[in-house]
Amino acid sequence: MADSGRAPVGIARHLPPWVDLRVVGLVLLTLFVAVFGYRFAGVQPPRASSAAMTLAGTPGSIRSYGSIPGLFEGETEAKVSLKEVPPRPGVVGLGSLSDLRGEIAIVRGVTWLSYPALGNRTTVESNPLKPESAAFLAFAEVSRWQTDTFETAVPFDQLAGVIEERARRAGIDPNVPFPLLIEGNFTAIDFNVVNGPALGSERPTKERLRDTAVKVESTRGEGSIVGFFAASGGERLIHGGQRFHLHIVLPIAQQVGHLDSVQVEAGTLLRLPALESEIAQN
């Protein structure tokens, strides 16, 4: 029987005798799947040159891929695979899917994705098995949290000031970006999910993103708000003119998105990174 792995005579005479075309074929097939598997799933593979920028400072150093200003410059291509996010309980973060196809929120190592859907609706997945990538992603791994409680309800227009004051009280410099987690009950919830496909070929300006996003309102919900705070110096992570960038996750309602407004109810917990000195003492 002829050897099926032997090259045709015209090709074989130009190849070294040690070349096994079966091995070559397997390597080419692997490369094909790695590159085009993303395409078939509707996801662009991350650029090989993309690298994380680590913003060190307060506990829970932040790793970021891409940036908020970059998105508004049209840099919406894939920067990183979501497989890069370690599924550990101290990991929190947020981001936007490649081509601005939806929102990302990471709470205690669980990755939540929210996509725009027909009829001004959204669909939500957690820890997706399919390959996904981000145009912008920022996450931190916090080894230990220090916990504070909101004794009274806090409206959205006061939330940044309350967080900044409590961060200072906890020994955290609010001028250096730090991660935060709010867990409990919320009312008067407004959030949005970016809708890149609706932009077409237009550059994603703030106005066009606002006009095309899927907007969701909810009277109340239980879950988590996750994100980053910086009174200054957080331009990579936080929209211009803001002190924080927050995403909300409501698991029971299956709602996830970029937070526009909320009232944090009394009894809800604010978690801030513990200082390294406190961690060393315990």
Q: Where are the domains of the chain?
A: 53-141, 145-281
DSSP 41: T
Q: How confident is the model at residue 9 (pLDDT cuts 50, 70, 90)?
A: very low
CB 196 within 8 A of CB 163: no
What does the pLDDT look like over 34-47, one tens digit per residue? 444 444 444 555 55
Domain 53-141 - what CATH class? Answer: alpha beta
Burial of 65-100, coded b for 16+ CB within 10 Å and e otherwise, reads bbbbebbbeeebbbbbbbebbeeeebbbbbbbbbbb
Domains 53-141 and 145-281 in one fold: yes
Residue found by looking up tokens 């027909």 in the block: 118
Domain 145-281, CATH: 3.30.1330.80
pTM of the model: 0.81
What does the pLDDT look like over 169-178, one tens digit per residue? 999 999 999 9
What does the pLDDT look like over 207-220, one tens digit per residue? 999 999 999 999 99
Closest CA relative to residue 192, chosen from 214, 170, 160, 223: 214
β-bridge partners, 179: 228
Question: In the prediction, which pLDDT does 4 show?
Answer: 45
20-29 mean pLDDT: 49
